[in-house]
Amino acid sequence: MGRTENGAAGFYGANWGPVPFAIGKLPFQDYYVVKVFSRVQYNTQPANLRGVQAGDVPSFSGLSFRAENTVTFASQPEVMNQARLAAQLKTEGKIEEAIQQYRNALSMDSNNPVVLNNLARILATADKPELRNGKEAVQLATKAVMLTYGTQPTIIGTLAAAYAQAGQFPQACEMAQIARALAWLTGQKEIAANNLKLLSLYTSGKTASSRETGDGSRGASH
């Protein structure tokens, strides 16, 4: 459903399929489709299972389920030790050394999403312009998104910042929209709100700083 001061629009289900309707004058709207992959364990069985016919949608009484949104992956201990050292150096303001430590970690494991994300975040948002590299940041963040199956809004937000640094603002806006929607759908309200703020930057053709994008080091678990 969508609502504005002047009207509302939506869809309802009918036997012949969904039928759109609108009330009042509506402005142009963009719609984004986001795939959310979660492990879901249903704890309830359909009511009157024998009465469910082919094509029918079964009714559930007292439906309950649980979902897991965290992507897990195997990681070498020495790689994560290197990543923790890099994160500490970044906290201390030793950005050049942090970059080198992340590169060392990638030399040991080039498919580690956390390391890829964190290095991309620095290259996209470092306070020192000479340390930024938008093109490489896009490559690193794109790989991190692929390795986490596009399920982590923090990593998608890193890709948005990388696109902005590379001067590709339409792509940056698109990724920020997706990161915001996915964060909202998965209950990560702070990340959703932050991506909304960043979207206004990218829309106006501006890049983001490390303070504006926040900490991108927790995009996935290991």
Provide the residue ranges of all domains of the chain, joining segments of one domain with +: 1-31, 77-213
Neighbours of 116 (CB within 10 A): 29
- 188-221 pLDDT, tens per residue? 889 999 999 999 999 999 998 877 666 544 434 3
Phi and psi based region of residue 66 (left: phi greater than 0; alpha: psi -120 to 50; beta: remaining): beta
Topology annotation, domain 77-213 = 1.25.40
DSSP 8-state code for residue 196 = H
For the entire predicted model, the pTM comes to 0.67
Q: Is 85 within 8 Å of 101 (Cβ atoms)?
A: yes
**What DSSP line would sit under 66-109, residue for residue?**
EEE---B----HHHHHHHHHHHHHHHTT-HHHHHHHHHHHHHH-
- 137-157 pLDDT, tens per residue? 999 999 999 998 888 999 999
Output the six-digit token pair for 32: 């984004």
